[in-house]
Amino acid sequence: MRMAKKGTRWLGALLGVVLGLSWGCGGDSKSNTTQEVVADNGPETPDGQEETGQDVENPDPCHASSEYLVGMGVSDITGPAADAGLMGYAQGSQHAAGLFMRQWAKALVVVSPCNGKRVLIVVLDTQAIFQDIHTELVTALKTKYGDLYTLDNVILNATHTHSVPGGAGRHSLFNFSPIGGFYKEVLDGILYGTLEAIDQAHESLVPGGLELAVGELTNASVNRSPDSFAANPEWITSALPDKIDPTNTVLKVVSAEGKEIGMLDLFAVHTTSVAARNLLVGPDNKGLAAHWFQEEIARRNGGEEGFVAAFGNTNAADMSPNVDGFSFEHKDGVKDYEDLWKSAQKQYQSALDLYDQGGEPLVGGIDYRFRYVKFDEFEIDPAYTDGKPRKNCPPMSGLAMMAGGKIDWPVIEDMRN
């Protein structure tokens, strides 16, 4: 799939999303997965030859196709709003004591009839995507849909909010204080709600099209580890002079009759506007931005509901939403919501501007790639070690992880970056 008249593989760049957000320097060999949607454009064009996008002897039926089946769905995945340990800051006192906003699963199905392939993308208001969520979800989908949705073409994207109940995975590394272990009620809530959203998307498939708009949002994130970023190779630091990734991408989903079905926004920033003293369950800045977007489209359509706005995350890394800095006095669990409001407003307005300006139609067939990466055997170039070939270590939690960041939540005062 590519931009019309461009011949480039834009959807690969758009949807090459990491399956889950995790910690540690290694990781379980089966829980480290990468997944992307790529163009189905036939063989690569040899250097020096004009790209036609098709083999003359074996024409690609998807070369110029802009016909798709599209559908979106949304369902509640809110976890326990009382007493459950909130995941993200690892603060023993952070147990849920109420609800700010509900958590949602938002599903998008795209089918290319020209080759019969499809992809399922789900944005979830969760802190991370664990292997348990992915495999159990795909198992349930197989029971209902056979081989339509598999590990290969199901992409799950966590918004990475730090204000929702934890315990949805069975790996002990992620279930320490304040979570206290695996929490089946949290996992079941995510699975049941996500399946409902997928059912809605699957059952609402209609002929439609996709438009892609790409812009920049420069005032909604700040690098919380600038010294560490400066240690990167020059080709990275020169490409990102502000030490952030400002790219904001909007995928517009429209039926063949012109009905607006939904949208997917992808922007790199942590959902840590509210900090570790917050006790209310909620999806943080991306959840509020999505809520506002849906309200605006409903307003434009005379109050008609049904439009689905999904605000996903990408390379959040050290991209913090706390552009005005950090203080314990301000991050008291109440004033935090001023920061959340500001961050959500910036993301919402940027996405709305891109959505309204319209994007380039996407053409070509759907295809996808999926693989497991065994990180504890991943070889490290000697240029990044002590000069000797090294491999990653097994999963572990060290002092650097517990230190926190000097903008989002500095736990150990003497440790920085």
Give residue 279's pLDDT band: very low, low, confident or very high (50, 70, 90): very high
Mean per-residue pLDDT for 372-388?
90
pLDDT at 371 over 60: yes
Model's pTM, two decimal places? Answer: 0.86
Show Cβ contacts of residue 249 under 8 Å, excluding neighbours closer than 6 positions. 14, 212, 213, 214, 265, 266, 267, 354
Selection from 10, 27, 22 nearest residue 395 by Cα: 27
Cα 89–chain centre separation: 19
What integer pLDDT is reported at residue 8 of this predicted model? 35
Under the banding of pLDDT at 50, 70 and 90, the label for residue 175 is confident
Of 31, 75, 221, 320, the catalytic one is: 320
Tell me the DSSP string of 258-294: S-EEEEEEEE---S-SS-TT--SB--HHHHHHHHHHH
Instruction: State the pLDDT confidence band at 173, using cuts at 50, 70 and 90.
Output: confident
Q: How far apart are CA 237 and CA 383, in angstroms?
A: 17
Mean pLDDT on 109-122: 97
pLDDT at 23: 30
The average pLDDT across 332-343 equals: 96
| Residues facing residue 38 across a β-bridge | 367
**Cα 149 from Cα 137, distance rounded (Å):** 10
pLDDT of residue 404: 67
Locus of tokens 């490290």: 380
Specify the DSSP class assigned to residue 383. G
Mean pLDDT computed over 146-155: 97
The whole-number pLDDT of residue 45 equals: 37
Nearest to 123 by CA among 246, 220, 20, 202: 20
Q: What is the mean pLDDT of residues 340-361?
A: 97
Strand, coil or helix: 211: strand
The pLDDT score that the predictor gives to residue 303 is 95
Confidence (pLDDT) at 34: 58
Q: Where are the alpha helices (DSSP H) in 119-169?
A: 131-145
How far is Cα 339 from Cα 220, in angstroms, rounded to an integer? 11
**Cα–Cα distance, 405 to 67 (Å, whole number):** 46
Instruction: Determine the Cα–Cα distance for residues 49 and 90; give it in Å rounded to an integer.
Output: 55
**In one letter, which amino acid is 310?**
A
Range scoring the smallest mean pLDDT among 191-205, 240-254, 361-375, 402-416: 402-416
Phi–psi pair at 5, nearest 5 degrees: 70, 5
210, 319, 335 from 213: Cα distances, Å: 10, 22, 34
Catalytic (active site) residue 320: yes
Burial class of 67 by CB neighbour count within 10 A (0 to 12, 13 to 18, 19+) = middle
Whether the predicted pLDDT of 379 surpasses 60: yes
Name 385's Cβ contacts closer than 8 Å, sequence gap at least 6.
none
Strands 2-3 and 360-363, by their bridges, are antiparallel
pLDDT at site 402 = 66
> If phi over 0 gives left and psi between -120 and 50 gives alpha, with beta otherwise, what is residue 236?
alpha
Q: Give, as one character, the DSSP assignment of residue 75.
A: E
Query: Side chain identity at 124, as an amino acid letter?
Result: L
Q: What pLDDT band is residue 333 in, cutting at 50, 70 and 90?
A: very high
